[in-house]
Amino acid sequence: MRELQNRRSETNQSVGRHHRRLSANAGTSPQIALPFVATPNSLTNRISTTREITDLLAQDAAVAIGISGGKDSQAAATATIQYLDQIGHRGPRLLIHADLGSVEWADSLPTCERLSAQLGTDFVVVRRKQGGLMDRWESRWRSNVTRYEGLSTVTLVPCWSTPAMRFCTTYGDTRYVNNDGFGLSTMLWTTAMLDSAIEV
C-alpha cells in the first residue's frame, strides 16, 4: 500500500513539473506539425496528379468528385476543391454520389447535399436502374442458385460484397457514374483517395 502511495506521489510530482515546464514555454514552444493540414502551402504536395491532369486543369476542365457522405470522401472533396482554388481553376466542379439504395447510411445523401452547398459545387446523384446494392446481392444469389441447380457450377460463390469484390466502389459506383448521361467521360474524375484519373 505504501509503495502504491509513493508511486502516485512521484507521478503527481512529475506531472506537476511537466505542467510548469509547459506554462514557462507557452510563448516560445514550436508549432506541432500535423500529418496533413489543408493549407495552400501543403496541398500542392498532397494531391496526386499527373502531367495530363495538370494540363487539363490549366485549361479549366470540368472536375467531378465522387463522394459517399463518409468522412474520407468529405475530406477528399474539401482538399480537392481547396487545391483547385489554389491553382486558379475556373472550370465546372461537381460532387457526384452513387446512391446504393437501402444499404446506405440514412444521412449519406443529406451529408453530400450539405457538403456540396458548403463547397459551392453542383451536385448529382446517380442510381443503378436495376436497383440498389441489396438488389444486386439478391440478383447475384438467384443467378448463383440457377447455375448450381443447372449443374453449370459446383461451387456457390459469395453473392455479397467482400474486400476483394467491393461492388460499392466498382460495379455500383463507377459503371453507373460513367454511363448515366452526364458526359463524365470528358471530365476530370477525382476519387475519394485524393488520387486522380482520366475516365476514357
Helix H or strand E segment including 108: helix 108-119
Region of residue 69 (left: phi > 0; alpha: psi -120 to 50; beta: else): left
Q: Which residue has the higher pLDDT, 12 or 117?
A: 117
For 198, the grid coordinates are 482520366
- Dig out the grid coordinates for 166 from the structure: 467491393
- The whole-angstrom separation of Cα 200 and Cα 187 is 9
Residue 49's pLDDT band, with cuts at 50, 70 and 90, is confident
Q: b vs e for 135-158, b when ≥16 Cβ sit within 10 Å of the residue's Cβ?
A: ebbeebeeebeeeeeeeeeeeeee
Residue 189: what pLDDT? 44
pLDDT at 6 (0 to 100): 56
- The pLDDT-based confidence of 93 (bands split at 50, 70, 90) is very high
Interatomic CA distance for residues 85 and 115, integer angstroms = 16
pLDDT for the residue numbered 177: 47
What is the structure's pLDDT at 95?
92
What is the four-CA torsion angle of 49, 52, 53, 56, rounded to 10 degrees? 160
What CATH number has the domain spanning 47-198? Answer: 3.40.50
Residue 129, burial from CB neighbour count under 10 angstroms (0-12, 13-18, 19+): exposed
